[in-house]
Amino acid sequence: MENMIGIIMAIVAASIATVLAGIGSVKGVGGAAQASMGVLSEDSSKFGKMLVLTLLPGTQGLYGFIVGFLILINCGVLGGDIPTLGQGIAFVGASLAIGFGGMLSGFAQGKAAISGIAMTAKDEKNFSKAMVSITLVEIYALLAFIVSLLVVISVPNLK
């Protein structure tokens, strides 16, 4: 029974990592895409720059997916051994870092991207400044991803 709870917790953890980080990316990319479309309706020659600025908030969802996939590989669903209760709890802990870190940084990066899009629309020379500002938010998604990744990698060693 304890192993059954462990695998259920691991599956929930994979879902938390994927869904919460994905929500951050959906919100961030969605807002940036709306702003980009407004710019492109006036000047379609800016498509490449608008695309790059729009895509940046999408990385959080990718990080959450990677963590969720690695959990499934290690928990007996796609390979590995069925986790103990303690390992299931550790997977949940790992998922919370990228889940909430990805969601919140996705929201913030989307707002930064919208501002960067507006700034670039006024003067394309501001594109690199916008990229730097938007990328600063990415650092926090990466930190959450690294913490989650390190925990997921170490879980099989917990007995």
Contact present, 25 and 107 (Cβ < 8 Å): no
Q: What is the mean pLDDT of the chain?
A: 94
**77 compared with 18, residue with greater pLDDT:** 18
The closest alpha carbon to 10, from 105, 79, 59, belongs to 79
pLDDT at 2 over 70: no
pLDDT at 76: 81
Q: What mean pLDDT do residues 22-37 have?
A: 97
Can you give the length of the chain in residues? 159
Q: What mean pLDDT do residues 130-149 have?
A: 95
Q: What global pTM score does this model have?
A: 0.91
122, two tokens: 């006024």
Q: Which domains, and CATH codes, for the chain?
A: 2-157 (1.20.120.610)
pLDDT at 102: 97
